[in-house]
Structure 1
Amino acid sequence: MQFNENNIRLTSAEMSQLWGAYINDSLAVCVLKYFLEKVEDKEIRPILEQTFELSESHLEKLTSIFTVENFPIPQGFTDEDININAPRLYSDTYFLKYVYQMSQLGLNAYSIALPTVTRADILAYFSECLTEFIELHKMTTNLLLSKGLYIRPPYIPTPKEVDFVKSKSFLAGWLGERRPLLALEISNLFNNIQRNALGVATLLGFSQVANSKEVRQYMVHGKEIASKHVEIFGSILREEDLPVPMTWDSEVTDSTVSPFSDKLMMFQTTALNGIGMGYYGASIATSPRHDLATHYARLSFEIGKYSEEGTKIMFENGWFEQPPQAIDRDELAKRKS
């Protein structure tokens, strides 16, 4: 892949997407390196190896882009942020579910990146990443299915005819008669439960092993929030006599030795907070029933407060790497005077 053939500068959108991709891939390399040290399942190992190789190749290509652009290569995460000799913290099933969610998040991230970039080489890079993650998603889905671990969204009857909404009660949620959930509303609830359930397991493990008391307490609080969200969304599905996906708490061992630095765990948690708020925002936009929109808005605010607490912890410990930003013209003027 050729980079910057026409000597066109990176736009702010391209800088932000490339910088964020480097940070995320450096984290993935660290996490997957630990997973590969512990995995025993012969079918799961090849998927972890392929995902690890993808992330490493991304770092190489991103480093080439930054070098050509004289752009400082981010620090991200390194071998100093992992302890591959730490005991197993999660099961092989968790490893597979983690990569499955990683593939979904990658598809979302790269599909967001593509419309924002302009330069041909950057467009080609993110297009290639998207194609790779489509294949990764297929692989993880197929393996989950073959192992009986894939949880399908609820089934509902096929519509018998085309119809149109005739009543304002279509939007009602808190008062009066509520209509049944739409297929898309069910899908939103189901997927938000799935993401939060994996979040509960992740934060449960982090809370056991974090070195800092402040970070341990933060992880416990996050686990409680995610568990509450699982219960709220699950209760809505149960009211409609729809199945609720299982949780993954049992996939966490009793280890108290951390395989990851507090910095890495805090970054992963705050990053997932932002992603979760994004999914809740999309759920608001596609859930006409008023009670659902209210739930998502209220719970988004709760995540926002929790995320802010985490960001402050990262500031205080010097763990928050500065993203690319505009020049402070007022500060330059003050220096001149």
Structure 2
Amino acid sequence: MLTNHHIDLTAAEVASLWSNYMSDTSAICMFDFFLIHVEDTEIRSLLEFAMKLSQAHVKKLQSIFNEENHPIPEGFSISVDVNRECPRLFTDDFHLFFIQNLGKMGVEFYATALSNCARLDICEYFTECLHESSKLFNKATEIMLSKGSFIRAPFIPASKKVEYVQKQGYLAGWFGQKRPLNAVEMSQIYFNMIQNQLGRTFLMGFSQVAKLKKVREYMKRGRDISDKHVEIFGSLLSQEFLPSASAWDTMPTDSTVPPFSDKLMMFHTSVLNSVGIAHYGRSLGVSPRRDLGSIYVRLTAEVLQYAEDGMTIMIDNKWFEQPPQATNRDKLANG
């Protein structure tokens, strides 16, 4: 459908475009440093593919912001936020795991962004990004499977027939006998455990190289929270005699030289916090067993407090770039 007048971007579209720019500029910084040290040719090719996608996104986003007379966010840059002379911090296996997770988060982000769009040109942009993220995820998964580093979710026997829940005891979990986990609950537990393993490795590496003591302590605290959550989710599976994904144990190197600015590392940590909170909320909504709901509420509260403390550090150091916001009408009315 063509229109003969200009349609302004909605708040939802501005929010998605702004967040996309921040995420892709930060990802470019990570890819640049990873590419300096990656040794595996397949993983290098995947990193180069991801880098090209992010660079194309940034160029397109800059064009959109200019056309709409919106300021281009500062975001992140290699020249400011990356020290290319540093030794390797993460292994090739982690680079691959990071790319796969980035594709996974991209699919979620772009699907949400697309569903909130009204302008067709913005819809088309996010549709293309969604396809690219799917391709990136599939490529990473294929390589992980070929290398034997992909940890599958637990298997369960095939159901013999379709059944309906007959008793309220299906919801029980605090007292009395608990039913076995259903497949939906199991998939959420596994997913959250994998995400926390990624966060634990990231924060472990960041805690070794952060310049400011307060940032190092914050990363150590996050590492310990992620480790505790991995143990909680693993125990839920082990109680059902199901294998956990704890075999994934790729750790950072012993480098203590900072390859990234504290600002960039704090931003990545804030993204992990936001994604973790969203995933816990989703898991809470599809987990009928009451004990699981209680666990997700408790863990969410812990991550919320950790995220707020991180925002305080970012604000104190003037690292938190403010998203576009509504006009303060009271301030205008008061002159």
TM-score by length of 2: 0.98
Residues 9 and 235 of structure 1, relative CA distance in 2, 3 Å threshold: same
* RMSD, aligned α-carbons: 1.3
1:184 counterpart residue number: 184
Distance 2:172 2:107 in 1: 33
Per-residue Cα deviation, 1:259-305 (whole angstroms, up to 9, x for no partner): 10000000110111011000000000110000001000100000000
* 1:55 and 2:40 aligned: no
CA contact (8 A) 2:203 2:223 kept: yes
Return the offset for 1:229.
0.4
CA contact (8 A) 1:237 1:243 kept: yes
Return the offset for 1:249.
4.8
* 1:42 and 2:9 aligned: no
Return the offset for 1:94.
0.2
Return the offset for 1:163.
1.0
Distance 2:141 2:158 in 1: 24
Return the offset for 1:216.
0.1
Per-residue Cα deviation, 1:210-242 (whole angstroms, up to 9, x for no partner): 000000000000001000000011001000000
* 1:114 and 2:146 aligned: no
Which residue identity is paired with 2:273?
Answer: N
Task: Give every structure 1 segment of 4 or more consecutive aligned residues whose post-TM-superposition deviation is greater than 2 Å.
Answer: 246-251
Which residue identity is paired with 1:152?
Answer: R
Distance 2:287 2:52 in 1: 38
Return the offset for 1:246.
2.4
* 1:22 and 2:12 aligned: no
1:216 counterpart residue number: 216
CA contact (8 A) 1:25 1:58 kept: yes
Segment drifting more, 77-86 vs 60-69:
77-86
Which residue identity is paired with 2:43?
Answer: I
2:226 counterpart residue number: 226
SS at match of 1:43: helix
1:283 counterpart residue number: 283
Return the offset for 1:6.
4.2
CA contact (8 A) 1:205 1:252 kept: yes
Return the offset for 1:164.
1.1
SS at match of 2:41: coil
Return the offset for 1:143.
0.4
The aligned runs of 1:281-320 (5 Å cut-off) are: 281-320=281-320
Return the offset for 1:162.
1.1
The aligned runs of 1:1-337 (5 Å cut-off) are: 6-79=5-78, 80-246=80-246, 248-335=248-335
CA contact (8 A) 2:93 2:250 kept: no
Residues 53 and 297 of structure 1, relative CA distance in 2, 3 Å threshold: same
Return the offset for 1:247.
5.5
Residues 249 and 161 of structure 1, relative CA distance in 2, 3 Å threshold: closer
Per-residue Cα deviation, 1:166-213 (whole angstroms, up to 9, x for no partner): 111100011000000000111000010000001100000000000000
Distance 2:242 2:4 in 1: 55
TM-score by length of 1: 0.97
Return the offset for 1:5.
8.0
**Aligned pair count?**
333
Which residue identity is paired with 2:334?
Answer: K
Residues 52 and 5 of structure 1, relative CA distance in 2, 3 Å threshold: farther
Which residue identity is paired with 1:34?
Answer: F
Distance 1:55 1:251 in 2: 26
Which residue identity is paired with 1:227?
Answer: D
Distance 2:270 2:135 in 1: 27
SS at match of 1:251: coil
Distance 1:94 1:183 in 2: 28
Residues 254 and 13 of structure 1, relative CA distance in 2, 3 Å threshold: same
Distance 1:255 1:247 in 2: 23
CA contact (8 A) 1:38 1:88 kept: yes
Per-residue Cα deviation, 1:68-109 (whole angstroms, up to 9, x for no partner): 011100000012001121110000000000000000000000
Q: Which runs of 5+ in 1 are unaligned?
A: none
Distance 2:10 2:54 in 1: 24
Which residue identity is paired with 2:36?
Answer: E
Distance 1:241 1:253 in 2: 33
How much identity, in percent, do the aligned residues show?
Answer: 48
CA contact (8 A) 1:197 1:247 kept: no
Per-residue Cα deviation, 1:24-60 (whole angstroms, up to 9, x for no partner): 0000100000001110001110000000000000000
CA contact (8 A) 2:107 2:134 kept: yes
Which residue identity is paired with 2:233?
Answer: F
